[in-house]
DNA sequence: CCTATAATTCGATATTTCTAGAAATATAGT
DNA sequence: ACTATATTTCTAGAAATATCGAATTATAGG
């Protein structure tokens, strides 16, 4: 199975998710499933200007929470569940005192 | 059992934990156990100036991740596991698509 | 090659966060 | 009252983040 993440990586992930728009964005990608969604579709469903959204997507990508793949003009973004699972593992192991 | 948290509360918790110093702080409190730790002890173990630390503690308290209780001159801070468990529940339920 | 579409990067501003010294508050003991 | 200790609040500057229109890049199809 995947190994754990360090403190600073965990903090980066948490910071990336710690913004209402980005958290909604991430959840939208999770609901979109393993095929992900093009940026344009995210823009429509979140109602955020394209340039703003682009920055938020990059913030999540920088933390490793999403990956992007280009298919022609369309840039598909999808959630990286591995990173999320490692993050949850970190919180469960390091922040819960065996509860 | 505890009920879930909403999007905005989750984002606040994630933002509060999304800072290296605050994440270390929270982990230190978890390791300190249910009795918590006085601010002074945290200051010593983290090596952060008192005023800076005070702000970070308040950031965690504002998100409901820690609670403080005064005993004489000593202000004891302890982790609120309930909030953390709700946060982990949120991430597991809303951000993992049943994985 | 031209046009349309998808998305990013640029540029500029506004806002928030972070940091930490100094001053203030709260409490305890003498 | 006085002094020491614990912690916060005040203040202010620096750094980072957020926002979004306009310009730009990349690609596809005629």
Q: In order of start, what are the domains of chain A with their CATH numbers? A: 7-93 (1.10.10.10)
Contacts of A7 in chain B (CB under 8 A): 20, 23-24, 27
Q: What is the C-alpha separation between B52 and B22, in angstroms, rounded?
A: 11
Polymer length of chain B: 99
Chain A span 19-48 residues with beta carbon within 7 Å of strand C: 38-41, 43
Which residue carries 């951000």 as its tokens?
B95
Contact at CB, B14 and A18, closer than 8 angstroms: yes
Res. B3: pLDDT tops 90? no
Contact at CB, A97 and B81, closer than 8 angstroms: yes
The pLDDT value given to residue B1: 63
B97 touches strand C (CB under 7 A): no
Question: How does pLDDT run across B8-39, given as a tens digit for each residue?
Answer: 999 999 999 999 999 999 999 999 999 999 99
Taking the CA of residue B22 and the C1' sugar atom of nucleotide C30, their distance in angstroms comes to 39
Q: Is B2 on the interface with A (CB under 8 A)?
A: no
Q: Are strands B37-38 and A74-79 parallel, antiparallel or unpaired?
A: unpaired
Question: How does pLDDT run across A19-55, given as a tens digit for each residue?
Answer: 999 999 999 999 999 999 999 999 999 999 999 999 9
Q: What is the C-alpha separation between A48 and A50, in angstroms, rounded?
A: 6
Question: How does pLDDT run across A71-80, given as a tens digit for each residue?
Answer: 999 999 999 9
A77: three-class secondary structure by DSSP: strand
Contact at CB, B15 and A14, closer than 8 angstroms: yes
């Amino acid at each position: 199975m995947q190994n754990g993440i360090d403190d600073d990586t965990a903090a980066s992930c948490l910071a990336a998710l710690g913004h209402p728009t980005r958290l909604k964005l991430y959840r939208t990608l999770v609901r979109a499933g393993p095929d992900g969604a093009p940026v344009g579709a995210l823009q429509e469903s979140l109602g955020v200007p394209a340039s703003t959204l682009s920055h938020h997507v990059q913030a999540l990508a920088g933390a490793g929470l999403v990956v992007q793949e280009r298919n022609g003009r369309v840039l598909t973004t999808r959630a990286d569940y591995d990173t999320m699972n490692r993050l949850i593992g970190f919180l469960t192991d390091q922040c819960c005192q065996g509860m």
